[in-house]
Each structure stands twice: as C-alpha cells, then as structure tokens.
C-alpha cells in the first residue's frame, strides 16, 4: 500500500527556512527565515504531537493487534491504522510549514513504510526533546533558587561556583541535544515529504548518464550527416567540375571550350555555396563574431520561405546556451522548410531572468516526429544544458518547438 501526501511544488526536496523554493513556472521564491521564538514554539509543539502519535499507536495498535495478526483481516486493519498515520503526518507537515518555513514537493507520494519510519523517528525525537526541555526548565528553576540563596547570603561562594560550573555543563549538553534533535527532525522530514538527498543524487547521476549517451549519439549522427553532405553533395559537384574542365582542355573548338569553362565556373560557385552551407551547419562563424541575433538572421537569409524573428535578449548569454539556441532555430527551420509545406515561420527568442526561451512556429501541416534524428539530437543538446525541449505538432499544424535553456 502507498500513502498519498499532497504537497506544494514538484519533485524537489523541501527547502530550508529562508532558502525559498521553486514555483510552478520555475521561478524561485524566497521566504523569510522564521524567528527563534517561532522555531522554539514549533519544537515544543513537536513534543506534544509526538506524544499524540505515541498514544495513537499504543491505543489503536493494541486494539487492531489481533486483526493485524490474522491474514484475512490484516489489509483492512492496516488501512485503518495507516489512515490515522497519514493524518498524523499531515499534522507534522503543517507544523514544519508554519513554524519552520519548510516548502515541500507537490503531489509527492510517500510509501506506507516511509510514513511509519518517519513517525517512529518523530515520536522518539519528539518525546526525547520533551525530556530535554524538561531538564532545561528544571535547571532554570534550580539556577533561580541558587541565585536567590546567593543574594540572601545563605549560600557560600565556593558552593555557588561549583553549582554554576555543573549547571553550565548541563546547559551545554541540553542545548547541544536540542540542536541535534532539531537537525534529525529536519532531516527525516526531508526524507519523508520529498526525495532524500541520496535519491536526488542518484536521479541526477542517471540523468547525466542518459544525457551523456544521448549527446554522444547526437554527435555521431551529426558526423554521419556531414559525411553524407560532403559525399553526396560537394564531392559529386567537384567530380562534375573536374569533368567539365577536362572536356574544355581536350576540346578543339574554342567556342565549345569557352562554354564548358563558363559552365565550370558556375559549377564552382555552386560548390562554394554548398561548402558554405555545410560549414554553417557544422558551426556558424557569425555566432562567434556577431552574436546569436546575427546568426539567426543568417538562417533567415538562407531560408527558402518567409521567416520573421523577434529577439528580446537584454544581457549577454553563455556561449553553450547561444550555440544550443542557434541549432534549435537552424534545425527547426530546416525541418519546416523541407517537410512541413509551411508558408511562414516565426522565431521568438526571449530572456526572462536566468532562462532563455527559443520558440519556432510554422503554419505547415504538422505531424513532426519528435523521435526523429534531427529533433531527437536537439532534445539531447538541450538536455545536456539542463534545458527542456517541447514539441507540439498535431496533424494539420501548426508546429511549435520551444526550448527552455537555463543561463545561470
């Protein structure tokens, strides 16, 4: 069985007080750190909720004990027991949010085993915290009595010094114990109400391994495409150019030789144009010398259909982000020109805070294959920068390709 814990953000761990969290649009919101009195009140309330949890498991667990032992009634008894446990967890969640300012993942589902483990640790730390606070109060009362005795003169200075030294050691142990228990409470809360740090690290490692493999595959596919362009395009044109020059050299008729040389000159211009196109597909030199806006302008000039651009970037971009954004535009425009039968393309590049958004929209027939080589390579290139590529291309159009690239 699994418990369902409703939350407030996506699959991120709860944040520490004052650190803030991520909203639904990816922006970071900061919350002020709670004051020490507020956190202290939350700690005392945690002792009370721990006592409630202990009484719940003692009373309800004892009442349901026979039913939990019998296999036929065990599922129903477990469901009843876990229903109350989930309410206790919800209470602890509210306590952490109100008094400690924690923000938790949205719609995170914690297993029943994780809930029981959390409540067991929570009850133990809460009750132990109550004992430590009791000792602290008892020590404060004794300190008051000693101070009163010193004022009245009924207590000698040597005895007062001994008691003060012993009280200072006990005070240090009490405060250190409270700090350690509070840290344990916060750590178990993060593990229950959201993915633990170890789980997040494991996910991140899996993402990086997948991204690395995808980037390697995309690079290999790009190399194969460049080889195909050179072999099937440039090489064939160079062979034809050599044949034209050879015929002109062997010809006896000056007029025919001149016509062949003119044709060879035109063919050499075509070869230069195709070489320039291959070079632009490999890496545009304008991206280094003129920037992303001019490089996208070069894509618009080479595009065979009308292309409009809107460029709203008011700050310099990291070089990897510029490169990824350029290839998103270039590949998307090339696909639209070749396959979509579009009559117009719109490219919008905007920078909102630390996130660059690249949007390419055409009015073609749609049906773009997001798992194809070109778009799949773009997805890998964007994912390598922790970005996201969205492809919306229903049959009949329009096709909208949006890349979101973090710039931080």
Assess whether pLDDT exceeds 80 at residue 83.
yes
Give the global pTM.
0.48
Closest alpha carbon to 318 in 264, 385, 266, 397: 385
pLDDT digits (tens, 9 = 90+) for 3-30: 333 333 333 344 444 444 434 333 333 3
Q: What is the structure's pLDDT at 75? A: 87
The predicted-structure confidence for 175-221, as pLDDT tens digits, reads as follows 888 888 888 888 888 777 766 566 667 777 887 777 777 667 667 76
Closest CA to 397 of 308, 329, 336, 320: 336
The arithmetic mean of pLDDT across residues 243-262, rounded, is 81
Q: What is the pLDDT of residues 370-406, one digit of tens each?
A: 666 667 778 878 888 888 899 888 888 788 999 999 9
Cβ-based neighbour number of residue 39 at 10 Å: 16
Amino acid 359: pLDDT: 93
CA distances from 38 to 1, 62, 93, 95, 365 (A): 36, 36, 16, 11, 60
Instruction: Give the Cα separation of 90 and 10 in Å (integer).
Output: 18
Any idea what DSSP says for residue 194? Answer: S
Tell whether the model's pLDDT for residue 345 goes beyond 80.
yes
Phi/psi of residue 15, nearest 5 degrees: -90, 160
Q: Angle 197-229/254-282 helices, nearest 10 degrees?
A: 180
Answer whether 17's CB lies under 8 Å from 3's CB. Answer: no
Q: Which of 173-182, 248-257, 281-290 shows the lowest mean pLDDT across its residues?
A: 281-290
Q: What pLDDT score was predicted for residue 28?
A: 34
Quote the mean pLDDT of the chain. 78
**∠ CA 392-394-397, rounded to 5°:** 95
Give the model confidence (pLDDT) of 210-244 as tens digits.
777 766 766 776 677 777 777 777 778 788 888 88
């Amino acid at each position: 069985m699994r418990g369902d814990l409703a939350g407030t953000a996506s699959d991120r761990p709860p944040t520490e007080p004052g650190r803030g969290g991520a909203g639904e649009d990816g922006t970071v919101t900061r919350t002020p750190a709670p004051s020490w009195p507020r956190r202290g009140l939350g700690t005392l309330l945690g002792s009370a909720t721990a006592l409630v949890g202990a009484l719940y498991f003692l009373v309800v667990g004892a009442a349901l004990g026979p039913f939990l032992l019998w296999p036929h009634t065990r599922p129903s008894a477990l469901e009843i027991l876990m229903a109350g446990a989930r309410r206790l967890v919800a209470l602890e969640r509210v306590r952490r949010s109100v008094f400690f300012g924690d923000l938790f993942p949205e719609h995170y589902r914690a297993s029943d085993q994780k809930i029981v483990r959390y409540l067991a640790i929570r009850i133990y730390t809460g009750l132990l915290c109550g004992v430590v606070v009791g000792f602290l109060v008892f020590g404060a009362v004794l300190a008051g009595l000693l101070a009163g005795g010193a004022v009245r003169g009924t207590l000698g200075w040597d005895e007062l010094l001994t008691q003060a030294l012993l009280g200072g050691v006990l005070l240090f142990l009490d405060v250190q114990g409270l700090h350690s228990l509070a840290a344990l409470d916060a750590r178990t809360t993060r593990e229950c109400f959201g993915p633990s740090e170890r789980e997040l690290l494991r996910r991140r490692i899996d993402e990086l391994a997948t991204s690395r493999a995808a980037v390697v595959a995309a690079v290999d596919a790009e190399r194969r495409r460049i080889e195909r362009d050179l072999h099937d395009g440039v090489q064939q044109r160079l062979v034809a150019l050599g044949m034209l020059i050879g015929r002109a050299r062997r010809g006896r008729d000056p007029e025919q030789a001149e016509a062949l040389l003119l044709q060879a000159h035109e063919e050499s211009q075509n070869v230069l144009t195709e070489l320039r196109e291959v070079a632009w597909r490999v890496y545009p030199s304008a991206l280094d010398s003129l920037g992303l806006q001019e490089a996208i302008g070069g894509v618009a000039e080479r595009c065979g259909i009308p292309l409009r651009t809107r460029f709203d970037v008011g700050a310099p971009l990291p070089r990897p982000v510029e490169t990824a954004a350029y290839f998103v535009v270039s590949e998307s425009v090339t696909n639209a020109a070749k396959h979509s039968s579009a009559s117009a393309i719109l490219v919008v590049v905007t920078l909102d805070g630390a996130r660059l958004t690249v949007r390419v929209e055409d009015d073609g027939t749609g049906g773009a294959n997001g798992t194809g080589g070109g778009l799949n390579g773009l997805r890998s290139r964007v994912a390598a920068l922790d970005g996201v590529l969205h492809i919306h291309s229903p049959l009949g159009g329009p096709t909208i390709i949006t890349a979101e690239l973090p710039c931080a």
